[in-house]
Amino acid sequence: MPSQYSDIQVIQLVASTSAGGLGNILLGDASATTIASCVPVPYKCQVRRVALVGLNGSTHATVGVYAFNYRLVAGTGTPVLIATLTKTTASWQGKVLYKDVNVTSRVTLSEGSEFELVVTTANGDAFPYSAWILVERIPEVAGNNSSMIVTA
Residue type, 64: G
The pTM is what? 0.76
Please give the C-alpha separations between residue 85 and each of 50, 77, 145, in angstroms, as whole numbers: 8, 23, 32
21 vs 123 pLDDT, higher one:
123
Per-residue model confidence as pLDDT tens digits over 85-144 = 887 767 777 788 899 988 777 888 888 899 988 888 766 555 667 788 899 888 776 666
Is 22 a residue whose pLDDT tops 50?
no
Q: Is 112 exposed, middle or buried (0-12, 13-18, 19+ CB in 10 A)?
A: middle
Residue type, 107: V
Nearest to 41 by CA among 60, 18, 13: 13
- CA dihedral angle for residue 43, residue 45, residue 48, residue 51, rounded to 10 degrees: 20
Alpha-carbon span 143 to 152, nearest angstrom:
15
Give the residue-averaged pLDDT of 37-44. 86
